Structure 1
């Protein structure tokens, strides 16, 4: 396999206060969010295989869902760790166990179902050319630094600012080495893999995506996601 999607489905969804289950298993348009996400990668010709990192007590449940919805390309569903960083490392280690050589790995959030095949393909192309690819969206509002919860200490030029999203794409060997280095230095809760790569002096290359590539983390996101699914259905109907 030359490209593997590593899907992180380990969050508890603490900000989704109205939900009785983890956000990745909430149902939108008749399917759990995680299924919508997995299907995007399963259908992409640029992805050879999928590995999913999941909450330990939901591994069996997720395997059943994958079978029920007949999502192909999923090679393994494994338990996550205590933090997001540890969970991603577990997934990378599983890919190391399963794959020969040095595949490209697209690290993606299970609750980010609006990833397009174009963004997936551009990530793979960019990684092949430059060694990595970080999906970003152009900032459309002013970004400022706030101190002590009251005052603004710095305002950035909006045209130079982007929002880091997903997938974040690397060669397996490169991202594994950075994760191992972080562990050796006692770093266990990095925000994401691009932050680790940047910390250790790696030059990062970007792929732009639309603002629709949202991460569903709050009740407001859930309602916005339903509207985006309606928009996708309208586009498909217009093509018929």
Structure 2
């Protein structure tokens, strides 16, 4: 059977709070090495070329948390699926959402396992070439004890042949979707994972050895351990800086775009796009920091696709290029030069919008404004200019 397409279904609809703490967001949105737990899981699947689509099942109350996680979303990420009351129901709803353009294979993964490696994902995919199902698992290494009700040892169990199930768990899509539908029709909602449901449905499921680091985050101790593992494996980073400059002339109009904020004005800005000089300068600063040319190379003004385009598209693309190369934006600094309009009243809005586009804390965004004391083209009120600097950490 030719295996043509594969999708990942990441289950992130749970309410577990032991890892994040009382009153805090669920563990899949807890910060881990600078990014939410869920973001790490998505990135692992995005790193496997055979995974053409990634769908995430979320709780209906988590739409804003999820949007923050995927602000710099990979191109293969689908719209989120709203989950159900149980994990089993959430998976079934996710499978139904994928069925409109059904893949040959689906890998189902818990968002609370952020340290899954691309090698483990690929191993499960490879096993599906010869099996109806496959799951990542770890051979049981510890001696197992059965306890009495009072907490004393009843007897010792043999660990021979015992494995600890992990995720991803992969299946032929049509088979696992049918198994979930059958379980729902029979009123069975007690399966603890998809492999157990598949076994009940008579599917053959293979074991794929997976490292211990692919553990499930349940407690704050687990979260701290995951943080230490990620930090210890981080590549050596070096600091890079980039600068950018842009200018646009005033023309007829009733508003200007400055740093992603629409400001009413008695003039407009002459440009192929929306003329947002600060965002253009900042885009060039990020591209310069990673040695990827300038905005004109990636979004040439000769291309009609960018006529009138919103400049946040250009800035988000530059940020994605930094992330794709394993980099991290540390801070950005904008200086806007003009006599009018007055920038001061809009400074906080500009900082917030730039932080939103880049996925940064607003404290890492600086916005300054100055005039040129009536000197030069800005002093004569002929246009608006912007300078930008960006600092990023990149693998050495």
Q: TM-score, normalised by structure 2?
A: 0.56
Question: How much is the aligned-residue C-alpha RMSD, in angstroms?
Answer: 2.0
Note if contact 1:63-1:77 (Cα within 8 Å) is conserved in structure 2.
no
SS for the counterpart of 1:130 is coil
1:15 maps to: 18
What TM-score comes out, normalization by structure 1 length? 0.90
Name the one with the larger helix percent. Answer: 1
Q: Secondary structure at the match of 2:213?
A: coil
Partner of 1:83: 86
Aligned partner of residue 13 in structure 1, secondary structure: coil
Deviation at 1:128, TM superposition (A): 1.7
Q: Which moved more, 1:69-78 or 1:189-198?
A: 69-78
Judging changes above 3 Å, is the alpha-carbon distance between structure 1 residues 203 and 156 closer, same or farther for their aligned structure 2 residues? farther
* TM superposition shift of 1:153: 4.7
Q: Who is 1:111 aligned against?
A: 112
Instruction: Say whether 1:217 aligns with 2:227.
Output: no
Q: Note the alpha carbon deviations across 1:53-77, whole angstroms, 9 max, x for none.
A: 00111124313431x2333311120
After TM superposition, the runs of 4+ consecutive aligned structure 1 residues lying more than 6 A away are: none
Q: 1:12 to 1:131 in 2, by over 3 A?
A: same
Measure how far apart 1:126 and its partner are: 0.3
Q: Give aligned pairs, total.
A: 235
The offset of 1:134, in angstroms, is: 1.0
Structure 2 spans left out of the alignment, 5+ residues: 238-394
1:131 is aligned to 132
User: 1:149 and 1:171 mapped to 2: Cα distance?
Assistant: 44
What is the match of residue 159 of structure 2? 158
Q: Could you say which residue in structure 2 is the equivalent of 1:237?
A: 236
| Alignment correspondent of 1:36 | 40
Q: Cα gap change, 1:229/1:157 in structure 2, threshold over 3 Å: closer, same or farther?
A: same
Counterpart Cα distance in 1 of 2:169 and 2:75: 22
Q: How far apart are 1:14 and its partner, in Å?
A: 3.8
Name the SS of the counterpart of 1:160 in structure 2.
coil
User: d(CA) in 2 for partners of 1:152 and 1:178?
Assistant: 38
CA distance in 2, matches of 1:52, 1:227: 26
Question: 2:362 aligns to what?
Answer: none
Structure with larger RCO (C-alpha < 8 A, sep 6+): 1
For residue 145 of structure 1, report the CA deviation from its aligned partner: 3.3
Aligned counterpart, 1:186: 187
- Quick one: distance in 2 between partners of 1:18 and 1:63? 21
* 8 Å contact from structure 1 (residues 7, 110) kept in 2: yes
Instruction: Note the residue ranges of structure 1 that are not aligned, 5 or more in a row.
Output: none
Secondary structure in 2 matching 1:111: coil
User: 2:29 touches 2:65 (CA, 8 Å); kept in 1?
Assistant: no
Cα deviation 1:11-45 (Å, max 9, x = unaligned): 11143362511101111111111011101111211
**Bigger Rg, which one:** 2
Q: Deviations over 1:69-106 (max 9, x none)?
A: 33331112011100000000000001102x24x52100
8 A contact 1:8–1:88 mirrored in 2: yes
Equivalent residues of 1:59, 1:78 under 8 A apart: no
Q: CA deviation at 1:199?
A: 2.0
Q: Describe the shift of the 1:154–1:39 C-alpha distance in structure 2 as closer, same or farther (beyond 3 A).
A: same
Q: Judge conservation of contact 1:59–1:79 (CA < 8 Å) in 2.
A: no
